[in-house]
Structure 1
Amino acid sequence: MKAYDIVIAGGAMAGATAALALDTLSGGRLRIAVVEAMVPNHGDHPGYDARSIALAEGSCAAFEQLGLWEALAPFGTPIQHIHVSDRGHAGQAHIDAQTQGVSYLGQVIELADAGAVLHQKLHARPAIDVFCPDAVIAIERKLDAVTVTLKQGQSLTASLLIAADGGRSPCSRLLHLPRQQHDFGQVAVIANVSTALPHQGHAFERFTDTGPVALLPMSQGRCSLVWCMTPDEAQPLTQVSDSVFLQRLQQVFGWRLGKLLHVGERHAYPLVLNQVVRPVSHRVAVVGNAAQSLHPIAGQGFNLGLRDVITLAQTVSAAFQRGQDIGAIPVLMDYASQRQPDRDTTVALTSGLVHLFSNQSALLAAARNAGLGLMSTIERVKQPLVQRTIGWVEPK
C-alpha cells in the first residue's frame, strides 16, 4: 500500500489543475496521487474530447498565478467581443474587452490541447505520481485516513480524497453521496464550424425558440459551435449531411459571419443540472463536473469548477502549513462555506437563463428583450452579467 497526503480521482481539467495547484501552493511538500482512467490522446479522452471551453479572463489569470498559463496560452484564441441576441426580437447586448479595460474577455481552448499541456506538467512534478490508465473501484474511510483500491490492484491511502472524476462521478456513487438533478430537456450539439467572414475575436450567444446557439472564436479561423435543442430535434441533425446541417444552422444563427462553409464531426450531449447536495464529506471533497455539471449557457461550468479547485487548494495548503489534518471536517467545511455563495449564484444564473430564454410566453419575451435593451444602454445593469462572464468572482 502506498501512502500519500492526497489522492485525486480524475486527471482531466479539474483533477489535473487541482494536483498542480496543490503542488504549487504547498511548495511541493504534499505527496499527491492522480488516478486517471484514460491517457489524454487527442480526441479520445472523454474529458479532453472534441469540445472547446471558454476560459474567462479571471480563469486565465488564475492559471497565470499558478505558472501554467504560459504553456496554455499558445493554444488559446482571445474573445474580444461578446454579442448576445434573441432570435426574432430586437433586444441585444454587447460586451467589449476594451470597454471593460481588459486585453480579452476570455480565451477559447480545445480540451485536447489543454489536456496534453496539463499532463506533461503533472509528469514533471516530483511530488505527483500519476496512475494512468487506472481507476478507483473501491473506497474505505476510517477516522484518520481514506483508502482507495485501484482497478490495476494497487491500494493507496491518504488524508484526503478529491473526487474530480466527471459528471457521472464513480467516486460519488461508491460513497453514496446524495445528488440532485434537473433535466433541461435539451441536448447540446457540438461541432467546429468555418465561416466566410473572419470572426475577429467575436463570440456570439443567440437565443432561439429551442435553446441557445453559441459560436466561439477558435484558431485557424474556425468557430466552436454549441447548439442547444430538444432531443427530438437533435437526433436527425446529427445524421443529416453537412450541407443540410449548415443550411439549418444558417437559418437559426443568421449571417453575422457570412456564409457557413464547413462543419466538423458532430457530437450530442444531454443537458442536465447534476450536482452533489454537499461537496464535502468525511475525508472527501468533490470538485469540477463531479460537483456540478451545468448547462453550457453563458459558459460558466469549468470557470466555476476552477474557482472550486483554487479555493480548495488554498484552503488545504494553508491547513497543511499550519500542521492541521487536511482531510478533517473543519478544514473541508471551511472550503465548502467559502464556495457556497458563488456556487449557488452561478447555478441559479445559468438555470434561470435557460428557462427565461426557452420560454415562448409573450410576456417573458417582452421582459427579456427589455432587459437586453437596458443592458445595451445602461452599463450598471449589464455589470452583474459582465462580472460573471469575465470571471471576476473571488474564488472564495
Structure 2
Amino acid sequence: MRKHAVLITVLFALTVTLVSVSVVFWKFFQLNKQNYINNIFTKHAIITQIYQQHQQKVDSQIMLEANLAVYNFVLEKDEKDIEIVLKNAKILKKKDFQNVNSSLLFSGNGFYTKQIVTDLTATMLEFNRKIYFYLQSPSSSVLILDEELKPYKYWNVAYSYLVIIFIISVSFVLILRKLRPLIRLRKKIALYGDGDMNVSFKANGHDEIALVSNELEATREKINLILESRTLFLRNIMHELKTPIAKGTIATQMLESQKQKDRFSSIFGRLESLVNEFALIEEVTCMGDKTDFKEYRLVDIIDGAIDMAMIERSSITVEVDAVHKINANFRLYTTAIKNMIDNGIKYSIDSHVKILIKGHELAFESRGECIAHPLQYYIEPFTKDNPSKNSFGLGLYLVDSILKAHNQVLAHEYENGINRFIFA
C-alpha cells in the first residue's frame, strides 16, 4: 500500500470531494424544493379566503366554482376521482386555520354580535404531476385543482450537479494521467537500483516530473561514466601490479640466501593476497546484476569454503542440515564463509570454529575474549585489533560487502566466552 500512497491519497480526495458535493447538492435540493412548496402555498392563500367567504355567506356551489375559475382553479366534483386523489396523493404541505364567522343577532336586551370560530385545514397534494388543494372544515370539504401549476422540477439542480461532478471527475482523471509518468519513473529507478545501468529516465515534456526525469537521466549518465572510469582504473592498476609481483616471485627463487628468499616470498605473497582481495571488493561493490545468483545447499558452500581456507577438517565443526538452502553467488558467498573461518581460527583460543544454524541464521562460534570494539569498527576497511597478525584488515569488510550484496547483514554477540558472528 505504501508504494501507491500518492494514488490512494488522490482517490481518497476524489471520494471525499464527490461525497461532499453530493451531500451539499442533496441538502440544497431539499431546501430548494421546500422553498418552492412554501412559496406556492403562500401565493395560493386566496383559495382558503374564497372557501372561507363561501362558508360565511353560505353561497351556492356554482358561486364557489365561479370565484375559483377567476384564478384558473377547478373544483373537483366527482366523488370517485376525489377518493383516488386523497388515497394516493403525496402530501406536500398541511396547515391549520381558524375561520371566524360573525353574526348580528337580536335579543331582549337589543342587538348583539355573535362570533363562531370554525377550524379549517388546508392540505397541498401532488398526484399525477398535478397540484391539488384539499380544504376541510367540520361541516364540509372540497378538493381544488390548479390547472396551471406544475410540480417542482428538479432537472435544473440535477443538471448543475452532473456538470460539477463531470468537471471534478475530469480534473481527477487529468491528475491521475499526470501521475502515470511518476509511477513509470519509480519503476525505472527500481530497475536502476537492481543493476540495470542502461535504463533511460529521459522524458518528453516540460512539467515538474519530466524535469526530474531528465535530471535523473543526466545523473545516471554521469554515474555510469564514473563507474566505468573507476572499474577501468582499478582493473588496470591490479593488472599492472600483478605483473611485477609475478616477476618478483620468480626472481625470489633465484636468490641464494634462504632467509632472503623466504622474506621476499612472504612480501610478494602478501601483495598478491592484497590485490586479490581488492579484486573481490571491486567485484562486490560493482555487482548490480544478480542473474548469476542460484540456489545452493549451505553445506556445499561451507565445504567449498573449508577447501578454500586449506585447513584441517578437525579445526571445523559443522552442524548444518542439508535441507538449508540459499540463493547466492557461489564464489562470493564461499569467500565470505572462508573469511569467517579464517577469522575465527585466528582469534580463538583453541583454533577451532563451529558453524551452525541458530534461529534459521548461519552462525560462526569460536572461544575467546569478546571483541574490543563494536562490530561497526571491524567492518571498516584496514582495521584490526592486533597489527602483528598476518592480515590487511579487509576480512570482515569484505564479508560485510558480500552479505549486503545478498541482502544480509553481519551481526555479533558474545555469550559465555564465545564470540558468535551471524549472517542475518
**When you count strand as a share of all residues, which structure comes out higher?**
1
Larger Rg, first or second structure (1 or 2)? 2
Task: Report the TM-score when normalising by structure 2.
Answer: 0.20
- Tell me which of the two structures has the higher relative contact order, counting C-alpha pairs closer than 8 angstroms and 6 or more residues apart: 1
